[in-house]
Amino acid sequence: MNAMKAAITAAVTDIVYRSCLYLDNGNWGEFLNLCDDSMIYSIKAYSVEIRRDMEYLSHNKKELGTLTEMLPKLNSDHSPLRRHASVYTVDIGEDGETATAVTSLAVYQNMHDGINSHIDSGETRLFLVGKYLDKFKISGESALLIEREVRLDTRRLDKGTHHLI
Amino acid sequence: MSAKNHKQWKIPAFEQGDYVDSRIYSDQNIFDEEQDKIFKQVWIPVCHESELPEAYDFRTTSIAKEPIIVVRGKDNEVRAFLNVCPHRGMRIERRTAGSFSDGQPSGNPKHMTCMFHAWQFDMKGNCVDIPRAKEGYQDRLTKENVGLRRLRCEVRFGGFVWVTLNDKVEQDLEAWADGAFECIRSAIDTEPLEVFHYHKAIIDSNYKLWHDTNSEFYHDYMHYHNRVTGFNDEYFARTNKGFKNGHVNVNSFTVQYGEFELGESREDLSFPGFPPNQWYMIDLFPGMNFNLRGSALRCDIVTPLGPNKVMIEFRGLGLKSDSQKDRKTRIEHHNSIWGPFGRNLHEDLLGITGQGASMQTGSEPRRILHGRHENNLIHDEIGMRHFYDEWSKWMGRNPSDPMDEQRKVLAAE
């Protein structure tokens, strides 16, 4: 791997991990700063029940901004989500202007509300597992997210969430 | 008077019928009775025909703990059977959906095969092969003597597959629904529909609390989305209408989707004969909901798992003839409100989770009110009262006094 490829790989990996930290902390603005203006975010899953690929959520960058700004107006579960991610692969396009990354993802929920907060608060439960399938725009040795597909394995999502995954 | 002790709290200035006793949501015996007296007796939608589009496709499900398989035969008929082998009681098909076109390790293509001892059945439920039957059973049992347990099944109301465990069900499905679907009939029956969304939630709450939530609109105060898109004169003029057998529907109004920051008018995409941006709701006894809103149809099917546990399956549907662009639009509209990451569904599920936490088995009996009377208008809680009138008939219990305690006290006095 030449130095440029190594630098791009490091930049892509850094963005994936930073995105996890920002999303964990509800630092939506910082997350959006990792995204190009053309960013498309989606949550998808394949249903073995209806044997179809499904899209659970889809937004562009502007809509993501609106969505996150709206969160204080919505009644939501107070239990924060915590991501554990491992960047499995980073592939740089032949033109050197794009890259893709596959990241294994587990999202835990640290119970605040739970079913009965008196009992459940402090417990950590597995919320979902899946992958981040990310695409990046490369400029020199820096990268910006242009597409994130959260590909879920988990489809029993119980109460769900208002938050980005 | 402000806060009240238990006795004071139990006696609101309401008549029976304007409240229920919370034990109907938490008592194990009542739950067990409901399975036998209601869920094993009535029509339940179990899936949509588009989930088994080809001959030999199947879908498995359950009603009141009885495993069910729905198959499409080579004659294109959809049939339902107990998913149980008549030999040793093994569940025949373990997958949730698929096709019998291909063979299985124990069986031939185009057959349902019990993997345990390789008894094979055709799509009409006939047993077509018992390995070494003559040697084992001589003439005491042949394949002609056995078959799958057939269940009554109809495909109706937008292509949903309805099944009843009751061989002697008194009403066919059309009569059972009693016209509750007429308000959206042309929209869902003019051309075939197709499922595009499925997910499930298992919630520590009673199934009736989910149906209650779907039956009352007063909780729209919980939804920021509904407050900004709906609360106007037209919204408050919507009416609830009761039908026989405990069903209710709610008539429509024009939703102002554009008032929501992430909203987008549904004006350009609707259903056949359905005016744009409209919203009809049908609540079917004992716990099914059909929600036609703008460009998408939502269907909720409950499977009660215990007095304080329910599985809810959520489906989203559009037209089978949708272009790729229209389908994407329907999906986005559906999921922005009703998906697991949408604006409203999470809030509704938080609501019944909180109720489930406060009404666990053994908790202090409480009176749960549904006593708003507003001339059947949108925040009138007539939908729940209508449901519990029907529940009372099937259960032989008064939901306001399910243990017969008040009646006994009055009789003693």
- Calculate the alpha carbon distances from A118 to A75, A113, A114, A123 in Å: 19, 8, 9, 11
| The pLDDT of residue B268 | 84
> Which of helix, strand or coil describes residue B229?
helix
Q: Measured between alpha carbons, how far is B409 from B281 in angstroms, rounded to an integer?
A: 40
Q: Measured between alpha carbons, how far is A108 from A157 in angstroms, rounded to an integer?
A: 12
Confidence of residue A60 (pLDDT cuts 50, 70, 90): very high
Average pLDDT of chain A to the nearest whole number: 96
User: B179-395 falls under which CATH superfamily?
Assistant: Naphthalene 1,2-dioxygenase Alpha Subunit; Chain A, domain 1 (3.90.380.10)
| The pLDDT of residue B267 | 76
Nearest to A58 by CA among B229, B342, B324: B342
| The pLDDT of residue B224 | 85
Q: Is the ipTM of this complex over 0.90?
A: yes
Alpha helices in B231-292 (DSSP H): 233-236
Contact indicator for A108, A124 with CB cutoff of 8 Å = yes
Nearest to B223 by CA among A80, A56, A76: A76
Hey, is the C-beta of A78 within 8 angstroms of any chain B C-beta? Answer: no
Q: What is the rounded average pLDDT of the residues A90-112?
A: 96
Nearest to A139 by CA among A101, A92, A105: A92
**pLDDT of A57 over the 70 cut:** yes
Residue of A nearest to B333 (CA): A57
> Which of helix, strand or coil describes residue B97?
strand
Q: Longest Cα pair distance anywhere in chain B, in angstroms? A: 82
Asked if the Cβ–Cβ distance from A66 to B262 is below 8 Å, we say yes
Confidence of residue A1 (pLDDT cuts 50, 70, 90): low
Whether residue B402 is preceded by a cis peptide bond, meaning omega within 30 degrees of 0, is no
More confident residue, B265 or B182: B182
Q: Which of residues 172-231 of B touch A (CB under 8 A)?
A: 195-204, 222, 224
Apex B74 CA angle, B69 and B77, nearest 5: 60
Apex B299 CA angle, B266 and B216, nearest 5: 85
Asked if the Cβ–Cβ distance from A56 to B195 is below 8 Å, we say no
Bridge partner list, B100: none
From start to end of B170-273, where are the E strands? Answer: 193-203, 240-242, 248-250
Average pLDDT of chain B to the nearest whole number: 94
Question: Which of A51, A109, A111, A118 should be substituted to probe chain B, the one whose Cβ sees the most B Cβ atoms within 10 Å?
Answer: A51
Q: What is the pLDDT of residues B235-279, one digit of tens each?
A: 899 999 999 999 999 988 888 877 777 777 777 899 999 988 888
φ and ψ of A57, to 5 deg: -160, 145
Contact indicator for B315, B338 with CB cutoff of 8 Å = no
Confidence of residue B227 (pLDDT cuts 50, 70, 90): confident
Residue of B nearest to A117 (CA): B357
Both tokens assigned to B112: 């349902």
- Calculate the alpha carbon distances from B355 to A123, A165, B22 in Å: 21, 27, 10
Q: What is the pLDDT of residues B114-171, one digit of tens each?
A: 999 999 999 999 999 999 999 999 999 999 999 999 999 999 999 999 999 999 999 9
Asked if the Cβ–Cβ distance from B199 to A156 is below 8 Å, we say yes
Asked if the Cβ–Cβ distance from A73 to B200 is below 8 Å, we say no
Residue of B nearest to A44 (CA): B197
Find chain B residues with C-beta within 8 A of A158's C-beta: 201-203, 349
Confidence of residue B11 (pLDDT cuts 50, 70, 90): low
> Which of helix, strand or coil describes residue B28?
helix
Asked if the Cβ–Cβ distance from A76 to B204 is below 8 Å, we say no
A-B contacts (CB, under 8 Å): 112
Q: What is the rounded average pLDDT of the residues B317-340?
A: 95
CATH number of A3-152: 3.10.450.50
Residues 6+ apart with CB under 8 A from A72: none
Hey, is the C-beta of A81 within 8 angstroms of any chain B C-beta? Answer: no
Please report, for chain A, the start and end positions of each structural domain, with discontinuous segments joined by +.
3-152
**pLDDT of B295 over the 70 cut:** yes
Give the CATH number of domain B45-154; options: 3.90.1300.10, 1.25.10.10, 2.40.110.10, 2.102.10.10. 2.102.10.10
Contact indicator for B332, B268 with CB cutoff of 8 Å = no
Contact indicator for B341, A67 with CB cutoff of 8 Å = no
Confidence of residue B8 (pLDDT cuts 50, 70, 90): confident
Please report, for chain B, the start and end positions of each structural domain, with discontinuous segments joined by +.
45-154, 179-395
| The pLDDT of residue A71 | 94
> Which of helix, strand or coil describes residue A106?
strand
**pLDDT of B1 over the 70 cut:** no
Q: Measured between alpha carbons, how far is A63 from A28 in angstroms, rounded to an integer?
A: 12
Confidence of residue A115 (pLDDT cuts 50, 70, 90): confident
